[in-house]
């Protein structure tokens, strides 16, 4: 009888371990997104360098996703603060963004880019870093490479594919 209890206990523990492993295995995934913003930048030019600050406001759309919390076809309002420096031989940009979805859950992201520019017809490649958020985005982190293109009339389009995320 005691051996049966030990076997039963071992099976229960094995089941719990498998369930825990399955839960953790689902706490990550991938997605792709596109964001269209209108930018409002102010630049101060100095000899051989320039500093730009401003905002981006627009809409982010999930294009593809392995599973929630990112759902293909969902949209979020995106607001960012941007800081960029340019010298004769290099350009760097940093952006801090908050996306708010229809349920009012917020997702925080930061971007860094070295190279390219912020003029119409320009752009460049950089990296997003996912910084968690509220609601369904709580504890979500990860990274993603992106490509940005600056268009006429202060429009900007950012495309990020194969973004990897996990929940801490």
- For residue 3, report the phi and psi dihedrals to the nearest 5 degrees: -65, -40
C-beta of residue 158 within 8 angstroms of C-beta of residue 124: no
**What pLDDT sits at residue 17?**
45
Distance CA 125, CA 134 (A): 28
Q: Is the pLDDT of residue 101 over 90?
A: yes
Is residue 38 situated within a structural domain? Answer: yes
Residue 4 binned pLDDT confidence (cut-offs 50, 70, 90): low
Burial of 61 (0-12, 13-18, 19+ CB in 10 A): middle
The total number of structural domains that make up the chain: 1
Is residue 19 situated within a structural domain? Answer: no
Is residue 42 situated within a structural domain? Answer: yes
Token code pair at residue 33: 């997104």
Is residue 10 situated within a structural domain? Answer: no
Is residue 62 situated within a structural domain? Answer: yes
Burial of 5 (0-12, 13-18, 19+ CB in 10 A): exposed
Is residue 15 situated within a structural domain? Answer: no
* CATH code assigned at 143: 2.40.350.10
Is residue 1 situated within a structural domain? Answer: no
Is residue 153 situated within a structural domain? Answer: yes
Domain that holds residue 33: 29-167
Q: Is the pLDDT of residue 3 over 80?
A: no
| Measured CA angle at 163 (ends 158, 167), to 5 deg | 130
105-147 pLDDT, tens digit per residue, is 999 999 999 988 888 888 899 999 999 999 999 999 999 999 9
């Amino acid at each position: 009888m005691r051996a049966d209890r030990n076997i039963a206990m071992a099976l229960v523990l094995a089941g719990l371990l498998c369930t825990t492993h399955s839960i953790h295995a689902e706490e990550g995934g991938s997605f792709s997104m596109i964001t269209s913003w209108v930018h409002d930048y102010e630049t101060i030019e100095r000899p051989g360098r320039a500093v730009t600050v401003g905002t981006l406001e627009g809409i982010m759309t999930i294009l593809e996703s392995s599973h929630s919390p990112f759902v293909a076809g969902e949209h979020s309002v995106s607001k960012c603060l941007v800081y960029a420096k340019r010298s004769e031989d290099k350009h760097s940009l940093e952006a801090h963004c908050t996306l708010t979805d229809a349920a009012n859950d917020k997702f925080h992201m930061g971007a860094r880019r070295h190279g390219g520019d912020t003029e119409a017809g320009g752009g460049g490649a950089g990296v997003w870093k996912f910084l968690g958020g509220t609601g369904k985005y709580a504890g979500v982190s990860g990274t993603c490479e992106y490509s940005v293109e600056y268009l006429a009339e202060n429009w900007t389009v950012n495309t990020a594919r194969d973004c990897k995320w996990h929940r801490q």
